[in-house]
Structure 1
Amino acid sequence: MAELHNRRWILHRRPEGLVTLADIELREEPLGTLKPGEVLIRNHYLSIDPAIRDWMSDRPSYLPSIPLGEVVRSTSLGEVIESHHPAFKAGDLAVGVNGWEDYSIASGDQLMPVQPLAGEAEQYFLSIYGAVGLTAYFGLLEKGRPQPGETVLVSAAAGAVGSLVGQIARLKGCRAVGIAGSEEKCRWIVDELGFDAAINYRTSANLQDAIRESCPDGVDVYFDNVGGEVLDAALMTLNKNARIVFCGAISGYNSQQPVPGPYNFWQILARTVTLEGFLVSDYFARFPEAIAQVRQWLAEGKIVFREQVVDGLEHCLDTFNLLFEGANNGKLIVRINSLPQASGGSGLRRDQLNHATAASALAATQEETR
């Protein structure tokens, strides 16, 4: 494999605001050699997530900052080409935290083998069976602790995680209310996902009032994906002993100035609220349990999910910035279709996948683009 060259997106400057080509660049580098315990993976799919923006900064986070001069970190799924680790052999599929690159060399101890069932697409393990689905599952059920009859409010409700949180809340007998950024997204989460109500934060003159109108009995669980002004408004609508699940704060990831704390934070005391952050990696030992349950819900047609797959490693940056423009529609994934030697420009494709039923989830071996 020494003759292969590897295309890699390299971080060479800490971004200020949206990430641009002044911050990262696509380079072609010789592929390194494997050490004992390492595995060579040809990446098929790359996960595009808001957290990557935080890793590019030098702010303290749950993972170290990406060092300047190193590949942009992300979760990837690919095929094992060569293995110096006893748990993997050539032809296996594996998921791990690697990078925006054609090939990854990783410690086998930091990879998870995956085996799709017949008819399941590989990239499900970056979406519905991956961090997205498992974050929604463990975040809501373990930290939100929803009880039948309670109201669950979800921000970024049309996003990859939020859309699943609302559906799981409904499965647990709760009223699910979502906050999203367009009328189209609001219609989707109500008409197709089964949310009880949706709030367009962009057109609401007073978000607190809009939440109170949609949650007349108050909010028992708030699943927060955005922070900022949306969190501030939600804090004023909480019931006594409510739970806030702090999953993300995308509203502040591109901020160039210190982000002030919630002005209404005192409601945590006033309403005796529990606020907890969590990392899905803390539940690694329970991943099989969660995947089995999510797979069952999917097979029974009880949950819906969307993937938005973009072709070409060269389009990672454009795809990533869709997250911060609110232009994505479902879980964002980049598909690497060609070997490095065959790389080339093919315009950005924004393929939308909507696996709404068991039939479409289990029968599709190719994506259906809309």
Structure 2
Amino acid sequence: MTTWQQFLAQYGAQLSTKAGANEGTGISMDSENLNASLPAWNTNSLQTGFVAPLADLGLIRVQGDDAASFLHNQLTNDIEGLGLTEAKLAAYCSPKGRMIASFLSWKTSEGIFLQLSRDIQAPIQKRLSMFVLRAKAKLADVSTEQLMLGLGGQAAADTLKQWFPTLPLQAYAKTDNEYGSLIRVPDADGVARYQWISTAETLEQAWPALSASLAVTDASAWRLTEIQAGIPRITVKTQEQFVPQMVNFELIGGVNFRKGCYPGQEIVARSQYLGKLRRRMAIAVIASNEVAAAMEVFNGSDATQPCGMIVNAEICGENQSLCLVEMKVADQEAGDIRLGSNDGIALEFQPLPYAVLDITQ
């Protein structure tokens, strides 16, 4: 247990080997000590204000004169153009154009940071390092040096002003000061969300004020708001399953089609320009607490083969999960989509918070 985890344990936190519907190592909060049961934070705190330690995320720092150009040649977004006051989504793809990682990336005076699911952090860092070759770039795991908090809800902004008097106003805007980096991420269910990245010392000093003003939740609450915002996260179970457009990644700013080559670029570009996209990602509610990433979904009238896959899922109420599901557009339009088999639990589709544009020749 790290010093940060020991510190959180004083406030009712405990280590957990399963975080919500997506399995992984993280921190879960003792609901008895915190009086913050799942239904309470799901229905109230996500709107009024919450703070969550994001122990299920890993962080890679890339330093060196060639750090930006190296990453630019590996990822789907324009990393050479990444500024100090912004963050960008990006994907790392296989040569076949399938996503093997999704990142939130940002730049500070200390280097370029890549945030990703912790269950794939080590192998992705190793894979990227294999392609450094003669480039002046060095990758390091800084997951225990730079810690991450997710904050959201109506009270989050006023609470954060104690440390960041000028808040980032737009999605993916970033501000830095002596207290670390603060990134505004897309709203969820109509309320603002932020990520605060800093040292354990800084966050420990801030924690009493944070926990006094905001409900303390575990990382599953943050993942639920990511689903509400329509932002997919690639985990070990879903690696190499999706071309970026299948999970709407280009719609949320994760792909730059004007930049140079990167692994899988030809296939990603071909998917974009050679006709209408046949697969997309949607949001759905499922009446079950047993929904997990990589589970298949079926058209109710076709038992022969699945028509899609769960990308991410989190419990959102009693016997209810919210999920991101990638599937054939035609099947979604036809309706009657079921979990696990053609006679499984029905999916109830919800509107995405952004427009899904048809791509035609």
Same fold (TM over 0.5): no
Give the number of the structure whose residues are more often strand, by fraction.
2
Q: Larger RCO: Structure 1 or Structure 2 (Cα < 8 Å, ≥ 6 residues apart)?
A: 2
- TM-score (norm: length of structure 1): 0.27
Point out the structure with the larger helix share: 1
